[in-house]
Structure 1
């Protein structure tokens, strides 16, 4: 496969390859297990943040992986009423810890992009707006 798509590590036994999408899924799962995160965002469409289900966690994540380091951008939707800086810091710490422990990569940055606010399960996606 293309070197930009996966991380390869050579050892005495053979090669270990970790696809960028795997790192993205790890980051998405680590982010959504934090209290205050309503979900991942696919981005903005007409001023509306589109919330993704759990099957598309890597779609709300942008990962840049080098030989030994990784940088992650997460696009999240937070729950109404939470203190956003506290939630974002907790997400950064959890994502960094999860990626480093599972892949051995050194995570140099985890950037959080808050794309919207979720108001509960009874609110439609159209009501999750970015102001």
Structure 2
């Protein structure tokens, strides 16, 4: 992830700028809800010890005019890897476009492993910071 902001719209009234962390959060939630996805995987050691868990396993970068997303996941045993990956790509692109009006040019899925059937899937709330999902 870079610290640069992603500019979504520039008009006479001003600019709308969305931080990459917001895109990472949207992508992480969309990816975690897809059938066949066991959990997201941290790529960097800093993600393991960081306090914020909302973007773990998701990395957004901007290369010239392209927005590229890398998602690192563990899949559930028995699912079709290509099918889950293609579903994840389309769902992520749609969710980000709907919520931020940003077009994702590439969604790269990195399957880190397959988890056996007997391993219980983590609760959705365990994947994110406890304050993150509170809507009170």
Q: Judge same fold: TM > 0.5, yes or no.
A: yes
Gaps of 5+ in 1: 46-50, 123-131
Answer 1 or 2: which has greater strand percent. 1
Q: Kindly indicate whether the alpha-carbon contact (under 8 Å) linking 1:100 and 1:106 is maintained by their aligned counterparts in 2.
A: yes
Gaps of 5+ in 2: 122-136
Alpha carbons of structure 1 residues 33 and 105: separation in structure 2 relative to 1, 3 Å: same
TM-score (norm 2): 0.71
Which secondary structure state, in structure 1, belongs to the residue aligned with residue 104 of structure 2?
strand
Cα drift, residue 69 of structure 1: 3.8
Residue in 2 that maps onto 1:27: 27
1:6 maps onto 2:5 in alignment: yes
Using the alignment, how far apart are the partners of 2:113 and 2:74 within structure 1?
Answer: 5
Using the alignment, how far apart are the partners of 1:4 and 1:43 within structure 2?
Answer: 17
How well do the aligned residues superpose, as a CA RMSD in angstroms? 2.8
